[in-house]
A and B are shown apart, each in its own frame.
Chain A
Amino acid sequence: MTDVVTSPAGTKAAAALLEIDHLMVMFPVRAGTWGAVVGHVHAVDDVTLTLAEGETLGLVGESGCGKTTLARTLVRLTEPTGGTIRFRGEDLTAKRNKDLRSFRRYVQMVFQDPQASLNPRKRISQIVGAGIRLRGTSKGMKARREVEELLARVGLDPDHAQRYPHEFSGGQRQRIGIARALAADPKLVILDEPVSALDVSIQAQIVNLLDDLQDEFGLSYVFVAHDLSVVRHVSDRIAVMYLGKIVELSSSDELYAQPMHPYTASLLDAIPIPDPDRRRDRRRLVGELPSATNPPPGCRFHTRCPWATDLCTEVEPPLAEFANGHEVACHHPLNVGRTQLSEAIRSESSPRSSGAELTLSPAEAHRVEIDEAQGKDETP
């Protein structure tokens, strides 16, 4: 933390590239012939996050919990309903479309489905060239040379510039998507499930490529994925989402070694291990998936949490911050001792609707269960 600077906004230090503050995205739900609004989907519900220069933030969570919506909002493909997004201290949410042009160059997105996100009628040279034009400089021969250099950089044959997207395999199309994003010379790249549809060897190539590009261009990434092994590999920190909220945030290694939120624990538990000797009896999450239009009161996970108490059904847990910046939104976190619990503080990132004070206590009931299952010593 030597290069602490004061951002123009004058608040947070440590060279934050991106500051997401109490961000909300709600979608109206319509019904009937006249399309009357009968409710709202709380896709992103009061999310606060920061991203440092050069950092990779992993974003994981249940299908439908709002990851794509959050990602799209960061590049302003979706309009936020509330809250702010600051990029290098500048409030983007206050900007009109016209003023966003210069910003678009700095924040680029790579989409989950390269097939759907590349215009089938455009040649690769046009697709990648569009990114270069965002910078507004190169034209003609110079632009063409730049396209070719970019294609080579992402491991494609520059001769392919004149081909159309359907002439490429899934892995190659994903490289085209990355080349298009890089063409604008961005600072931040939002990657929404960039490798989910690819086989593991191509997945590994793309992950390594992203790694190299990050070092070379000093990029920051927000990396959305279902595959927790891939997320662990690429991320410095990981945010876990459940039903529109951040429920846990921690350094990548610690999240896997010491998951504190019961939902995170069940996610990790469900990862299939590529070793037939370790076939496990999967512990399944039971209970019903709550509705995103009418989320449960209190902790949103309580309908499925094995350790829920009465408190959980009444008070939304604020984010508790532990010594090393590990944050968890749970009244009864796992894998922490009483001392740690007593030293935790309420994080400033906590949603506004959450409890004003921390009410942490170990869930005695579950502790017994875990200790028996794992044969561990009781934590003091």
Chain B
Amino acid sequence: MSDIEVFQRAPITDEVLRVEHLKVSFRTERGVVQAVDDVSFRVGRGEVLAIVGESGSGKSVSAMTLMGLTRSPNATISGSARLADGTELVTASDRDLQRVRGSRVAMIFQDPMSALTPVYRVGDQIAEQIRAHEKVSKAAARARAVELLERVGIPRAAERSRAYPHQFSGGMRQRVMIAMALSCSPEILIADEPTTALDVTIQSQILAEIEDLRQETGVAVLLITHDLGVVAEVASRVVVMYAGRVVEECEVHEIFKDPLHPYTWGLLGSVPRIDKVRPDRLPTIQGSPPSLLRPPSGCHFKTRCPHRFAECDREPELRALEPNSVHRDRCHLSLQDKRALRIVDGAIGLPIPVEKELS
């Protein structure tokens, strides 16, 4: 383990968040759901780390745990998530976490309506947020709110700040969320599928706004998405999750040019491409995700992986296959095998299994 450790510590300049061995489980009537199973990753200042992966793989639970939003009597949380100055988020008291939330770590959600209060004016909500963390007058906070709305591209911001959330379109509400998230210049912005419900032109505006702010303020962004096009356009690094675990972590170029985990190959192979000829059928990954109540032993992807072999009953570690590489993956195949196996019909993907596709 220790020689592997060396490769993992390749430089991330100016680390703002380090998550290590994070585990989150929920007790339910059917048993214990291991939603997050030993997740580790780091985020550097001013970078965009994208988290992609299977629906239900634990992306949102991981992010919400950083904000203390999964704390509940039926949840068990262990591991560590530390900010640059050593503040530990997993064990922090609710009061300390409250202080971190909004001021140092901010989050925007898929559905902005659920995070805004319908009966308060948009500008007042942002001003409240500012005053919760800073000693400023009401008037000053309001003025700041208008400035923030301007910065995220809301036209006639002074006037619009007096509107109620329902008078805004989905895209504008999402911008309000961003304005709110940035009101206290956080070090980290967590964005959980911020554009999934929006059309592509608005998506592109929102992404451009996040990008501008990142460049201006150096905020680090943790971006959860299932759109690999979005990943290609805005991410610096990528973490791929499958059934509660990180299965691959690398630079954005590598995920598209040199992906090492079979699940990642399947994901890339499934994307319908607007820039390519349309195929008769979309390639898929056979089968369905494993139950988190009783995940398979060994590699979690084993039940669906066409490349599995005897070794896969043993749990693979997340490790780099080349010395000094920051590209890590969790699979027993050798690097040589991976590079040969991942090409299917001239592109990256998984071979179509002989069995029936849906089973």
Contact = CB atoms under 8 A, between A and B. Distances in A.
Interface of A: 60-64, 154-155, 167, 169-172, 196-205, 207-209, 211, 226-230, 232-233, 253, 256, 266-268, 270-276, 278-280, 282, 284-285, 288-289
B275 interface: yes
B196 A197 contact: yes
A229 B256 CA distance: 18
Given A61-B199, A171-B55, A273-B274, A200 B30 contact: no
Given A63-B170, A200-B226, A275-B256, 16 more contacts: A60-B199, A63-B171, A155-B359, A196-B196, A201-B270, A202-B54, A204-B272, A205-B357, A226-B200, A227-B227, A228-B274, A229-B229, A232-B272, A273-B229, A279-B232, A282-B204
Nearest to A198: B55
B266 to A, nearest CB: 6
A341 to B, nearest CB: 26
Nearest to A284: B205
A188 to B, nearest CB: 23
A289 B203 CA distance: 14
A266 B204 CA distance: 11
B322 to A, nearest CB: 20
B208 interface: yes
Contacts of B199: 60-63, 226, 267
Contact of A233 (B253, B267, B282): B282
Contacts, number: 158
Contact of A211 (B170, B202, B281): B281
Interface in B214-264: 226-233, 252-253, 256
Given A169-B55, A170-B56, A199-B267, A270 B203 contact: yes
21 contacts: A169-B55, A198-B55, A201-B270, A201-B284, A204-B270, A205-B285, A207-B272, A211-B281, A271-B274, A272-B227, A272-B229, A272-B232, A273-B229, A273-B275, A274-B232, A274-B268, A275-B232, A276-B252, A276-B253, A278-B232, A289-B171
A274 B273 CA distance: 8
Interface of B: 30, 52-56, 155, 169-172, 196-205, 207-208, 226-233, 252-253, 256, 266-268, 270-275, 278, 281-285, 288-289, 357-359
A270 B204 contact: yes
B262 to A, nearest CB: 12
A54 to B, nearest CB: 16
A167 B291 CA distance: 10
A268 B204 CA distance: 11
A275 B255 CA distance: 10
Contacts of B268: 274
A272 B55 contact: no
Contacts of A232: 272, 274, 278
A270 B199 CA distance: 9
